[in-house]
Amino acid sequence: MDRKEITRRIKEKAAEIGFTKAGVTTAAPFDAEADRFQRWVESGAHGVMNWMERDRDKRRDVRNILPEAKSILSLALNYYTERPEDANLKISRYAWGTDYHEIVPKMLKTLLAEIQNLVPGTEGRYYSDTGPVLEKAIAERAGVGWRGKHTNVITREVGSWVFLAEIILSIELEPDPPAEDMCGTCTRCIDACPTDALKPYEIDATRCIAYLTIELKPEHEIPKELAAKLDGWIYGCDVCQEVCPWNRFSEPAPVEAFAPRETIVTLTEEAVESMAQDEYSRRFQKSPMKRAKLAGLKRNLRALKQSKQHHAKEKA
């Protein structure tokens, strides 16, 4: 088989396993993107996400992860589900169901095994938000999607409600052309951001509601200025994606485990306020919401209450 046929069959396998889209790029360095990423980190816009300061060489060149690397298979998995009408709290859509870290790596492991059956001797490393790689840059260069002005990758097929993943491979595959930026003059995401965290193609994570309610360590209170702008979000934020015109192409996720859990949908402020650790562990088993920890969720609730008080005073 030539590399074009091998690439076609790998993409077919990816679709059979359940991935929404697959694209291929070479293992050439990501010099411009790595420089841009480093400037962003040095500006402090990454906040307390200290892991972003490490492994610069691996982000720049995946051959520092897998010396034999020749290609990168970029993958997207749709996670979109409709917002439950009876949801009590505003929770980011990706966190309604089972944590994708419980699902995507298993899919990647299966796909890599299929590739190794197809081309014996193939070496591979796979990640899904778990390794020192520039996932968005890989997806762009592999033609999976372009980076929108809200900094999320947008696919033409299903919009931006996708998880990204990649497999670094030791075999030469047929590369896809890079994705074309289709945002045009639209600035809806920037205009809608409650905390003004966005500039075109750039985000100040320290102002982003998702960062403040998920990544900011529980021992740190959300700054009052930003707490007043939480807009009801207790875990994550989807505003920039909800207003994106490309998300009119959203389709229901193919993975049933991403569907909203009753334990998430029925969550109330009162339940969070009175919640003990054992109930937290039961309610959020294998849920992305465990990332915030119980102390973080309670901190977020305090900030929400501050926000409500602020708006009540404004109206008075």
pTM of the model: 0.95
CB 40 within 8 A of CB 5: no
Q: Which residues are catalytic?
A: 129
Q: Which residues pair with 162 in a beta bridge?
A: 78
Domain map of the chain by residue range? 3-79+99-169, 188-315
Exposed/middle/buried for residue 195 (C-beta within 10 Å: 0-12, 13-18, 19+): buried
CB 185 within 8 A of CB 43: no
Q: How many whole angstroms separate alpha carbon 179 and alpha carbon 153? A: 10
Q: What is the pLDDT of residues 52-101, one digit of tens each?
A: 999 999 999 999 999 999 999 999 999 999 888 888 899 999 999 999 99
pLDDT at 316: 60
pLDDT at 306: 81
Q: What value does the mean pLDDT of the chain take? A: 95
Q: How many whole angstroms separate alpha carbon 314 and alpha carbon 308? A: 10
Q: What is the pLDDT of residues 113-157, one digit of tens each?
A: 999 999 999 999 999 999 999 999 999 999 999 999 999 999 999
pLDDT at 311: 66
Neighbours of 90 (CB within 10 A): 19
Is residue 270 helix, strand or coil? helix
Q: How many whole angstroms separate alpha carbon 240 and alpha carbon 249? A: 15
Is residue 252 helix, strand or coil? coil
Q: What is the pLDDT of residues 94-115, one digit of tens each?
A: 999 999 999 999 999 999 999 9
